[in-house]
Structure 1
Amino acid sequence: MTLFSIARKNIKQNFTNYFLYFASMIFSIVIYFTFVSLKYDETIQATSNASTKISSAFSGAAVVLMIFVAIFIWYSNSFFTRKRKKEVGLYSLLGVRKKQIGRMLFYENFIMGLLALIIGILLGSVLSKFFVSILMKIMGFEAIGEFNISLAAVVNTIIVFSLITILTSFQGYRLIYRFKLIELFQADKEGEQEPKSSFIMALLSILLLGVGYWLALQNILESNVWQMMGFMVAPLVILGTVILGTYFLFSTLTVYLIKMSRKNKKSYWKGVNLVGISQLLYRIKGNARTLTMIAVLSATTLTAVGTAYSLYYNNRSNVELANPNSMMFIDQNKIETNQVKDMISNTKNHEVIYHKSILTLQINADVTTLKNNLFSNEMMYTVISVSDFNKLAKVQKRTDKLSLKGNEAAALDAGYYEGMSPDYVGSTISLKMNDHFENITFKSLKKYNVLNYYTASTTIVVSDQLFTQLGKETNSVDMEVYEITNEDEAKQVTKAIQSVLPDEARFSSFYADYTAGMESSGLLIFIGGFLGLVFLAATGSIIYFKQLTEANSDKGRYEILHKIGVNKKEVKRSISKQVLFVFALPLIVGIAHCSVALTALSRLMHTSLVIPVVICMGVYTCIYIVYYFVTVNAYYKIVTKSK
């Protein structure tokens, strides 16, 4: 019997243990192949105006995915190699040389990798059209791609995963030479020392996390600490304190708390709690690095996916803020203006809700008194009368109504950002007229605009009397404002208007910004979601592998418990508690890190991220729960299986 045939036989006999590793490899290959296929997909290139950006985004995501999958497969393969120490020791005892054993393990891993590659590419090819449809739907397109297989994607995937498989196979080959025969047979019987607990180190973990959280939740524009550290150093300090605090939390604080729980004799001696608590205590410190990595990776994944989904979720409200009107442009030519009016009036799928011609003034102003370092001392404003503001506010169904007199004014700033934007209320600026300055004082600030931002930018509302006076000294600009039904589906009429109006008309539309937002945020959520699933599958698998390794080590202990009268129900309850601790702890810590990060981000963006973030956390937790139950059942079967 050749080494290759032995390797093939071993895979068949151990396929149950290999299954999740094998399935994870297939899943990773499917996702990678999909990403590369989408990069070359003709439907996306023909449909989207941003096909170049999409291709670049998928190329970048594929690189990140490739690096992570390589690390995951490397990590998983080392687990399986170490798990088979006793089997390898038996081969050595029978006289098989390490070189031959290493070759056998190399063949095993290579066969698994090759099978996963073939199945992954076949599944990816079948599912590619489905993934294209999902991406098109998320980005707001109706196009459905034809079934085709990208040869470039197939070659790319084969090269990448062949290299990963060869490297991991050589890793297993190399590990054989590091094992001594006595270590191989005594691997499950090696003595474990009780980890030492330190109240000071436990306190330090809380302190480090507290400092990291506190610094992250500071207002970065007003915080003296951020200004002192600098905007490049502060994020690194946050990252360092949180990661280090997380490691100490798992390696010292949990050990300290578990030791404290042993003092509760009533609970400690109840059932088989003594066994479960002891096993957690002896192994938690050894698992600290793995749990830290999983917690940090979970936090990163949740934050990235939550942010991407938040942008997608809030796209309409953000576009409505920048475009309170469906369409708007500057009237530069009456012929073109009338042509646009006919286009909008005659379109079949849209009705005109309102059409207003707004007289505006484009005036430069000396804004030195606003004392804002982010802006120059001179700015161009669009000036409208208070009567036109009230007219537009009414048709836009706003409850606000301004009343201004003399040189009073109101600022309409849809992009207002507290701490960065000027403090308008109470400030006085000077409007530059032909031969003098006209001072106006801001009476109020509205954090929205009644004119589209791209066309009018920041707008100032003045009294009718002052507007008439200013109009005599500067040129006026007519702006055409339209509101139509089904504005998010106005593709044809928008493109028709864009072909008629020159760039100087500064045409802006709800549809153009809405679709651009859907494209970018949809692409982010698609990439973030799938990368998140890969990360989740990997972290769940790592815990699964570790627990199965420990289950094989604990099999003898549970056999003794069964012999002294402990029933299987109590054994499963003990396993469930033990595995729950290992699964729940990094998940809870990861969610805590994510909550702080997204709270800081929501403050920075001045928007609520609660609903999309809760949805992402809920989905993530549900998938983790599935992994938990699979692990508990696998652990239970191993420790209760009769010889």
Structure 2
Amino acid sequence: MNFLQFAFNNVKRNARAYFAYFLSSAFMVMIFFTYAMFIFHPDLAKSEMGRMTGIGMEVAEYIIFVFSILFVLFSIGSFLKARSKEFGVLSLLGATTGSINRLVFLENLIIGVGSIAAGLAGGLLLSKLFLLLSVKVTGMNRLPFYMPWKAMGFTAVAFLVLFVVLSVFTLVFFRKNRVIELLGGGSKPKTEPRVSWVLALLGVALLTSAVLLLKGGDGLDFSKVMLAAATGIWGTYFFYTQVTVALIRLLKRSRRLLWRGTRLLWVSEMAYKIKDNARMLFMVTVAISLACMSVGVILAANAQNERVYTDNPFAFSYGVYEQEFVEADMAWIDEQLSKQGVRYETLERESFFGYIGSSNFYVDVVSRSEYNKAAALLGAKSLPEIGKGRAIAYAMEGSAAANVLKGETIPLSLSFLEEPLQLELQPSVVSLTGTNSHTSVVVLSDADFAGLKNGLSAENQNRLYRNIDFYIPAWQQKGAPGLQDPNIVIGKSLYYGMMNRLENGVTDNYMSSRGRAYAETREQLSMLSFVGIFIAAIFSVSSASFLYFKLYSELNQDRRMYHSLSKIGLGDREMRYSSSLQIALLFFIPVVISGIQTMVVLSLLGARFLLGDVTVPVLTATGAFLAAQLLYFAVVRSRYVVQLKRVMV
């Protein structure tokens, strides 16, 4: 038997340990390859949507590769630690450090090459399905199948370099260990987990600081968000390394709670497991949190896009900047809609652009009579009289302006006024609706609006905006439309036709399209969903692999413990309950913590970034990860309990 065969046999004998690592690596290679196959597709550059999707997938490639580096580095380190006793025996039999290094390198290379081959094979098998799915989700034209030699070579070289470099790098883990230390393996007795109350309090303070920074108010900016992310990450690290140990120590002080059934066994053991696995749990929590936040943001943005569409009753809004072009533009619009057999009504209105105080929360400022004209057209109730210096305000639920419009007064800033108007909010018995494509409206009395209009100086006359809104009764269906619905197709055509007139100097006026805005936002979110769903899947699979590796590295120690306990009366049922509960806590604590973090972060940032109500999206994203983790838990738990059952007396 030569050295290569010896390395191959070692991998085969340790198949149980390497199986999850092999599958996870192959899965990452497969996703990386399918993205590369899409990026290198010869027809990708023929459409704007294809180019945008290609850029998104390039970013995803970088994310996958960086995460793969961390995953492989962590996995190899875990395996070396679990097999330290085996290396000690080899050293005792005369194997040199160089021989062991060569053995480890060959084993890692065998697994790496195998996972690359399996990943490429899986990617080729699913390539046709992937291309069909990508076209359907992103809304691009048909992408025919092609033989992706370039993508295969790029993927194989990238991951082969990754496995070779990290295999060489990880050899330093045991190079300095003496034979007696290697033979000891993980059998050395552990000291009771210690806790630093200062660091535990620091962890709580950091998590609290992250929440306070994200509240931010009007002063929230990118630097504060990054600082909140850093403090939140460090707070999560101290939560696992210090706070959890402190909580378990406090729990162990209560004999009434602890000394019942098998609680003493699994609570005491969890103190060691959480402390030993703190870094791994921290990594898993951060990975799942990032994935949950990404999925939650995409789901929330998609729901908000649908709300913006359904809350806007007007299909088009024509902005009048130069009066001389209005007649010709309106004739052109009428011609385009008449060709399609579309019947419509128009509504002319005047408004100001305003802001709430010094914030960037935009509102549409209209008079009561202007709003009532829109209400009459839409079949809504008219507003009652509004007193001087008072206003009635509306903000779409979940929008940035919704919270600041709940007080008794509002400071309304207009660009042509030096100081904000201090308006008293008048309760409305009428449920307001949006009057155009914007989400928030402030309705003034006719006298106050006329005063602002008449007080405009000559140079500020352009601050009064005049719009002609198009109401199409046939397009007022409930819910969001499909991308091939007439209001989307005609909306895009009319919008781009007007943009062409604008670019060619035929007009200086502008027209917005409700359908076009909805469709383009939906297409962009579909692309992000397509890219993000596979990255989230990689994070999920890898987090389960991390937990499997750590449990396998502690398997021998648990075997000895349960073997000893079985001699003094511990039964199979108690063993299954205790071990299952410990494994469940390791699997589900990161998901629960990630869900809480995601809910807090997106709830604080949702209104500012127009995400609306994020409760359902966050629960959906967290529930998906929880379901995946439940599946992994069921598989790992069954295999782990079988191994422990074999040592029971």
- C-alpha change, 1:391 and 1:43, in structure 2 (3 Å) is farther
- C-alpha change, 1:505 and 1:583, in structure 2 (3 Å) is same
- Given candidates 301, 312, 315, the residue that maps to 1:311 is 301
Partner in structure 2 of residue 40 of structure 1:
40
Output the CA distance in 1 between the equivalents of 2:496 and 2:603.
43
The code of the aligned residue for 2:468 comes to: M
User: Structure 1: which 5+ runs fail to align?
Assistant: 222-226, 433-438
Partner in structure 2 of residue 328 of structure 1:
317
> Does 1:254 find its partner at 2:244?
yes
- Given candidates 551, 569, 576, the residue that maps to 1:572 is 576
Q: Is the 8 A contact 1:449 1:459 kept in 2?
A: no
Output the CA distance in 1 between the equivalents of 2:78 and 2:449.
80
Partner in structure 2 of residue 344 of structure 1:
337
> Does 1:30 find its partner at 2:19?
no
Partner in structure 1 of residue 290 of structure 2:
300
- Given candidates 501, 504, 511, the residue that maps to 1:507 is 511
Q: Is the 8 A contact 2:317 2:511 kept in 1?
A: yes
- C-alpha change, 1:409 and 1:346, in structure 2 (3 Å) is farther
Matched-pair identity in %: 22
Partner in structure 2 of residue 21 of structure 1:
21
What is the CA distance between 1:520 and its match in structure 2? 1.8
- Given candidates 394, 397, 402, the residue that maps to 2:376 is 394
1:598-637 matched pairs, under 5 angstroms: 598-605=602-609, 607-637=612-642
Q: Is the 8 A contact 2:39 2:54 kept in 1?
A: yes
What is the CA distance between 1:397 and its match in structure 2? 4.6
RMSD: 4.2
- Given candidates 224, 228, 233, the residue that maps to 1:238 is 228
The code of the aligned residue for 1:536 comes to: S
Output the CA distance in 2 between the equivalents of 1:248 and 1:182.
33
Partner in structure 2 of residue 224 of structure 1:
none
What is the CA distance between 1:333 and its match in structure 2? 5.6
> Does 1:155 find its partner at 2:140?
no
The code of the aligned residue for 2:36 comes to: V
> Does 1:57 find its partner at 2:42?
no
Output the CA distance in 2 between the equivalents of 1:440 and 1:175.
67
State the SS of the aligned residue for 1:164. helix
Output the CA distance in 1 between the equivalents of 2:365 and 2:253.
74
Output the CA distance in 1 between the equivalents of 2:255 and 2:387.
79
The code of the aligned residue for 1:481 comes to: F
State the SS of the aligned residue for 1:481. strand
The superposition leaves residues 537-583 of structure 1 with CA deviations (integer Å, 9 ceiling, x where unpaired) of 22221111111111122212222233344332221111012222322
The superposition leaves residues 61-111 of structure 1 with CA deviations (integer Å, 9 ceiling, x where unpaired) of 211221011111111111112211122222222223222222222112111
1:573-588 matched pairs, under 5 angstroms: 573-588=577-592
What is the CA distance between 1:600 and its match in structure 2? 0.6
What is the CA distance between 1:24 and its match in structure 2? 0.4
- C-alpha change, 1:384 and 1:250, in structure 2 (3 Å) is closer
- Given candidates 164, 169, 190, the residue that maps to 2:162 is 164
Normalising by structure 1, report the TM-score.
Answer: 0.82
State the SS of the aligned residue for 1:507. strand
- C-alpha change, 1:398 and 1:120, in structure 2 (3 Å) is farther
- C-alpha change, 1:202 and 1:492, in structure 2 (3 Å) is closer
Q: Is the 8 A contact 1:109 1:169 kept in 2?
A: yes
> Does 1:72 find its partner at 2:76?
no
What is the CA distance between 1:5 and its match in structure 2? 1.2
Aligned residues: 611
> Does 1:524 find its partner at 2:517?
no
- C-alpha change, 1:295 and 1:525, in structure 2 (3 Å) is same
The code of the aligned residue for 1:104 comes to: L
What is the CA distance between 1:328 and its match in structure 2? 3.2
Partner in structure 2 of residue 479 of structure 1:
468
Q: Is the 8 A contact 2:82 2:185 kept in 1?
A: no
The code of the aligned residue for 2:616 comes to: I
Partner in structure 2 of residue 435 of structure 1:
none
The superposition leaves residues 459-495 of structure 1 with CA deviations (integer Å, 9 ceiling, x where unpaired) of 988579969x97xx98996736142437652354345
Normalising by structure 2, report the TM-score.
Answer: 0.81
Q: Is the 8 A contact 1:105 1:172 kept in 2?
A: no
The code of the aligned residue for 1:14 comes to: N
Q: Is the 8 A contact 1:3 1:100 kept in 2?
A: no
Q: Is the 8 A contact 1:430 1:440 kept in 2?
A: no
Partner in structure 1 of residue 543 of structure 2:
539
The superposition leaves residues 335-365 of structure 1 with CA deviations (integer Å, 9 ceiling, x where unpaired) of 55344324323437xx54x322x345688x9
Output the CA distance in 2 between the equivalents of 1:525 and 1:105.
39
Partner in structure 2 of residue 436 of structure 1:
none
- C-alpha change, 1:555 and 1:395, in structure 2 (3 Å) is same
Output the CA distance in 2 between the equivalents of 1:173 and 1:428.
64
Partner in structure 1 of residue 494 of structure 2:
497
Q: Is the 8 A contact 1:38 1:44 kept in 2?
A: yes
State the SS of the aligned residue for 1:638. helix
Output the CA distance in 2 between the equivalents of 1:509 and 1:102.
65
- C-alpha change, 1:398 and 1:608, in structure 2 (3 Å) is farther
State the SS of the aligned residue for 2:374. helix
State the SS of the aligned residue for 2:318. strand
